[in-house]
């Protein structure tokens, strides 16, 4: 079909006008140029498409069918052009976005909703990843963007803070400090702690340890757990206490009580990160919409 493409527009114009002069005027070309183009198309196809006389032009049976197919091909090409332009502008395409538990329980859902409302033709694939995994996957272009906690460093990455949440104390329901409206971090100095496994929670555990150090003690780690559900389950079982970012899902956990910290206002920051030289235009539209929403 590519051999016919230069001639198709000429043929369609003549087939629709059934008049070479009017078709030439419509195309803004000379009539002899148009006549040669149609003749060359017929030679390439191998059949007569137009019956010509001095006063009359008509489509042959082959010409009528060829016209239908040409119009269908033009519609496909026009659609392809529109989609290509939209993709270039970041209005169509695909985004693969990584997220942590803290991100999905924070501002990420509202950001995704705003982006979908603005650009519904962009397909978003969400992937649960720990923060360090997201950094690796963004650098290797397995992720377009990430929503993660902890510091983001490296010249190849850009980042933008999207959410801040304070830390809270998570205690067994029958704990002696549960009667307090707010718990001083230093009151937990003699408690056993349940924390996330350091490899998977490497961006959060150091922040919790720093909170304890600020209060004058090193936390006694009794248990390490792989995920949030396990951490809350172990606290509910009386295996220890923990410090955890405040989010609404905390309060749906049976067997634990949540108390704000009385003597510390440190916040966990969720960052949006992306490759600084990303070639995906939808990344920059996502950044634009996110910033507009948050600012």
pLDDT tens digits along 270-294: 999 999 999 999 999 999 999 999 9
- Residue ranges of the chain whose pLDDT lies below 70: 1-6, 248-250
Amino acid 5: pLDDT: 67
Q: Are residues 157 and 208 in the same domain?
A: yes
Q: At which of 48, 73, 88 does a domain end?
A: 88
Q: At which of 38, 66, 88 does a domain end?
A: 88
pTM over the 0.85 mark? no
Amino acid 3: pLDDT: 56
Amino acid 105: pLDDT: 82
In this structure, the strands spanning 57-59 and 50-52 are antiparallel
Helix, strand and coil in the chain, % to nearest 5: 45, 25, 30
Q: Are residues 35 and 148 in the same domain?
A: no
Q: Are residues 59 and 182 in the same domain?
A: no
Q: At which of 34, 68, 88 does a domain end?
A: 88
Q: Are residues 12 and 103 in the same domain?
A: no
Q: Are residues 164 and 234 in the same domain?
A: yes
CATH number of the domain enclosing 10: 1.10.10.10
| Domain membership of residue 20 as a residue range | 5-88
Amino acid 1: pLDDT: 47
**208-263 pLDDT, tens digit each:** 999 999 999 999 999 999 988 999 999 999 999 999 998 766 677 899 999 999 98
Q: Are residues 54 and 175 in the same domain?
A: no
Q: Are residues 213 and 254 in the same domain?
A: yes
Number of domains in the chain: 2
E strands of the chain, at which residues? 50-52, 57-59, 93-99, 122-128, 145-149, 157-172, 192-196, 220-225, 242-245, 256-260, 267-275
């Amino acid at each position: 079909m590519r051999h016919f493409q230069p001639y198709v527009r000429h043929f369609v114009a003549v087939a629709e006008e059934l008049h070479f002069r009017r078709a030439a005027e419509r195309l803004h070309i000379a009539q002899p140029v148009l006549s040669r183009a149609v003749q060359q198309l017929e030679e390439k196809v191998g059949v007569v498409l137009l019956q010509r006389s001095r006063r009359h032009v008509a489509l042959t049976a082959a010409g009528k069918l060829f016209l239908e197919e040409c119009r269908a091909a033009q519609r496909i090409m026009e659609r392809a052009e529109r989609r290509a332009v939209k993709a270039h502008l970041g209005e169509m395409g695909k985004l693969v976005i990584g997220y942590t538990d803290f991100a999905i329980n924070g501002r990420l859902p509202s950001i995704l909703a705003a982006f979908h409302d603005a650009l519904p033709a962009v397909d978003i694939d969400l992937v649960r990843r720990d923060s360090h995994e997201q950094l690796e996957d963004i650098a290797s272009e397995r992720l377009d963007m990430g929503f993660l906690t902890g510091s983001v460093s490296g010249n190849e990455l850009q980042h933008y803070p999207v959410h801040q949440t304070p830390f809270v104390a998570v205690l067994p329901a029958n704990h002696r400090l549960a009667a307090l409206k707010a718990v001083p971090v230093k009151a937990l100095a003699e408690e056993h702690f349940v924390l996330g496994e350091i490899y998977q929670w490497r961006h959060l555990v150091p922040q919790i340890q720093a909170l304890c150090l600020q209060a004058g003690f090193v936390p006694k780690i009794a248990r390490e757990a792989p995920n949030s559900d396990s951490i809350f389950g172990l606290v509910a079982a009386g295996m220890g206490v923990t410090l955890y970012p405040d989010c609404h899902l905390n309060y749906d956990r049976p067997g634990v009580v949540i108390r704000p910290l009385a003597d510390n206002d440190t916040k966990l920051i969720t960052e949006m990160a992306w490759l600084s030289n990303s070639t995906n235009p939808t990344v920059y539209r996502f950044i634009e919409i996110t910033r507009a929403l948050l600012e």
